[in-house]
């Protein structure tokens, strides 16, 4: 049963969604190192940018900052993207080394315009991080590759420690939230990634889009049945005027119940809270051996 029922969205965000800014000095120190690179922290307007950059961590977004899909929830600009930057992998590796990161997350815009959906660029970026900061563990947050399993193989053969692909929402809302994605295809991608046995598998959900409590629980069951080990659940926040509206603000008690259920169902790790995003505390998600 849900901890709280759906309520009308208040005019202002509730107290639990207020973000406390972290050290501007740390952020200004990182900016020059990240020059020429995109971070999802900035492009997706992540509410945790102060906290994460305050810890000296960042999530890199490769293949440009323009997405070829038209999802209704995302802050990333949409349109025609240019060709992959051949120098991007080396710049990314250099940045990881200069920042001294122990763990990094590499994600991308969706590149349906490329024959391999951008898989080769993921591989090259992983290789450059390995070359320039060999002790840095790597998580990749990938798109669905349109069901191109050869593209998935390219990424998996590069050896990331964590393979993340976000399911984003419950299947009933896919047509409205992810109109160009297929729920079953995303589940299959996660199951195939788990079958390699070389990386932990991870996925994330947004709530507050109009889903019910029971639908979230059913989606958690689907993810666990398809081999997902790590789960993130966070509040959807409207990033731009022309994106989908927030249906409701989910109370922290309900997030706590999702987390309790996740562990009861057998997930190895769960981050669940109003400001949780898919890369939140990512470094803590690989502290257990593969099973």
CA distance 143 to 110: 6
End-to-end CA distance of the chain: 31
User: Is the distance from CB of 160 to CB of 138 less than 8 angstroms?
Assistant: yes
Rounded distance, CA 191 to CA 167, Å? 12
In this prediction, residue 171 carries a pLDDT of 97
Backbone angles phi, psi at 67, to 5 degrees: -95, 145
Q: How long is the chain? A: 291
Q: What is the pLDDT of residues 79-97, one digit of tens each?
A: 677 889 999 999 999 999 9
Average pLDDT score over residue span 119-138: 96
Burial zone of 127 (CB within 10 Å; 0-12 exposed, 13-18 middle, 19+ buried) = middle
* pLDDT at position 277 over 70: yes
Kindly report, residue by residue over 188-216, the tens digit of the pLDDT.
Answer: 999 999 999 999 999 999 999 999 999 99
**HEC profile of 35-104:** CCCEEHHHHCCCCCHHHHHHCCCCEEEECCCCECCCCCCCCCCECCCCCCCCCHHHHHHHHHHHHCCCEE
What token pair was written down for 262? 């996740």
238: left (phi over 0), alpha (psi -120 to 50) or beta: beta
255-271 in b/e form (b: 16+ CB < 10 A) is bebbbebbeeeebbbbb
Q: What is the pLDDT of residues 225-235, one digit of tens each?
A: 999 999 999 99
**All domains of the chain, ordered by start, with CATH?**
19-286 (3.20.20.70)
pTM for the whole structure: 0.85
pLDDT, tens digit (0-9, with 9 covering 90-100), for 173-190: 999 998 889 999 999 999
Pairing of strands 59-62, 103-108: parallel
Distance CA 247, CA 253 (A): 18
pLDDT at 288: 44
Contact in structure between 104 and 282 (CB atoms under 8 Å): no
**For a pLDDT cut of 70, what percent of the chain falls above it?**
73
Look at the alpha carbons of 170, 171, 173, 178 in this order and tell me if their dihedral is positive or negative: positive
């Amino acid at each position: 049963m849900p901890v709280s029922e759906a309520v009308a969205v208040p005019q202002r965000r509730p107290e639990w969604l207020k973000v406390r800014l972290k050290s501007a000095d740390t952020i200004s120190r990182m900016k020059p190192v990240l020059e020429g690179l995109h971070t999802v922290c900035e492009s997706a307007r992540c509410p945790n940018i102060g906290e994460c950059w305050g810890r000296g961590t960042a999530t890199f977004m490769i293949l440009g900052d323009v997405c070829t899909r038209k999802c209704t929830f995302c802050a990333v600009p949409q349109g025609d993207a240019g060709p992959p930057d051949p120098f991007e992998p080396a710049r990314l590796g250099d940045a990881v080394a200069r920042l001294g990161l122990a763990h990094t997350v590499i994600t991308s815009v969706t590149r349906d315009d490329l024959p391999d959906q951008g898989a080769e660029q993921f591989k090259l970026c992983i290789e450059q991080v390995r070359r320039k900061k060999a002790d840095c563990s790597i998580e990749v947050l990938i798109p669905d590759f349109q069901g191109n399993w050869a593209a998935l193989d390219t990424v998996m053969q590069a050896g990331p420690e964590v393979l993340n692909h976000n399911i984003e929402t419950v299947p009933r809302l896919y047509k409205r939230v992810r109109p160009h994605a297929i729920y079953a295809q995303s589940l299959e991608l996660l199951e195939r990634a788990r079958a390699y046995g070389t990386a932990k598998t991870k996925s994330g959900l947004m709530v507050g889009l109009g889903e019910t409590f029971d639908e979230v629980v059913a989606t958690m069951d689907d993810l666990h049945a398809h081999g997902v080990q790590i789960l993130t659940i966070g509040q959807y926040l409207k990033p731009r005027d022309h994106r989908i509206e927030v249906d409701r603000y989910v109370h922290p008690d309900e997030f706590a119940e999702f987390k309790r259920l996740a562990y009861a169902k057998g997930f190895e790790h769960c981050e669940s809270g109003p400001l949780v995003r898919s890369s939140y505390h990512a470094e803590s998600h690989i502290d257990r051996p593969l099973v």
